[in-house]
């Protein structure tokens, strides 16, 4: 087989995927971990939704706070009622730009995403180091970052303040496919 034909057979499906300027992740995963002296707190949300506009290098993420799953029901109750106040602030979101993003590159890329996180009614600017991989025409975006509880005005009762970390580690994983209307 001629090298030109082989090249076209390999590149054409990839270029068709990226001819679409929007990608969607319907079931992204966001997890958090907080070390405490009494008991570590961790939860996972498998219902995070995200869109990427490749042409504009923009990304948006939205998730319901009640979708976090904990090992213990009491932790979930405290998280939703006492700390995050999910009835008042049901969603968290992120809107930003992926700096120098090139979706056509087949290799892994380390990029910075600059944007705003809105959580608990507070919006803060954040830069997040992200790994972006092209896996057979789908984009996989992963990373982790730290958040300070006080930045988002999440109140911790003084009686348990010594047992709850001031900073939590957040990890995320989104697998994107072409967005079809």
Which of the pair, 37 or 148, is modelled with greater confidence? 148
Confidence check: pLDDT of 6 > 50: no
Report the distance separating Cα 16 and Cα 122, nearest Å.
Answer: 39
Mean predicted confidence (pLDDT) in 68-94: 94
Confidence check: pLDDT of 181 > 90: no
Domain ranges of the chain: 3-178
Q: Look up the pTM and report it.
A: 0.84
Q: What is the mean pLDDT of the chain?
A: 87
pLDDT score, position 19: 44
Fold (CATH) for 3-178: Lipocalin (2.40.128)
pLDDT score, position 1: 47
Q: What are 148's two structure tokens?
A: 């300070």
pLDDT score, position 20: 58
Report the distance separating Cα 58 and Cα 44, nearest Å.
Answer: 25
User: Over pLDDT 70: what percentage of the chain?
Assistant: 89
pLDDT band at 9; cut points 50, 70, 90: very low
Report the distance separating Cα 157 and Cα 163, nearest Å.
Answer: 10
Mean predicted confidence (pLDDT) in 52-80: 95
Question: Cα dihedral angle (114, 118, 122, 127), rounded to 10 degrees?
Answer: -20
pLDDT in tens, 19-51: 458 999 999 999 999 888 778 889 999 999 999
SS3 assignment, position 38: coil
Exposure string over 120-149, b if 16+ CB within 10 A, otherwise e: beeeeebebebebebeeeebbbebbbebeb
For 13: left if phi > 0, alpha if psi spans -120 to 50, otherwise beta; the answer is alpha
Whether 155 contacts 83, CB under 8 Å? yes
Q: Based on C-alpha coordinates, what's the Rg of the chain?
A: 19
pLDDT score, position 95: 98
pLDDT in tens, 88-143: 999 999 999 999 988 888 889 999 999 999 999 999 999 999 999 988 778 999 99
pLDDT band at 10; cut points 50, 70, 90: very low
């Amino acid at each position: 087989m001629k090298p030109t034909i082989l090249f076209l057979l390999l590149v054409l499906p990839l270029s068709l995927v990226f001819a679409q300027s929007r990608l969607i992740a319907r079931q992204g995963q966001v997890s958090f971990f907080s070390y405490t002296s009494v008991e570590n707190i961790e939860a996972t949300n498998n219902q995070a939704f995200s869109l990427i506009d490749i042409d504009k290098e923009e990304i948006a993420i939205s998730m319901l706070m009640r979708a976090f799953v904990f090992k213990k029901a009491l932790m979930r109750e405290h998280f939703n009622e006492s700390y995050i106040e999910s009835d008042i602030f049901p969603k968290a979101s992120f809107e930003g730009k992926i700096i120098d993003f090139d979706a056509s590159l087949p290799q892994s890329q380390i990029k910075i995403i600059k944007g705003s996180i809105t959580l608990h009614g507070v919006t803060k600017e954040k830069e997040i180091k992200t790994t972006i991989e092209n896996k057979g025409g789908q984009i996989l975006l992963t990373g982790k970052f730290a958040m300070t509880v006080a930045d988002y005005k999440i109140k911790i009762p003084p009686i348990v303040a010594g047992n709850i970390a001031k900073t939590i580690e957040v990890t995320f994983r989104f697998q994107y496919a072409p967005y079809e209307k």
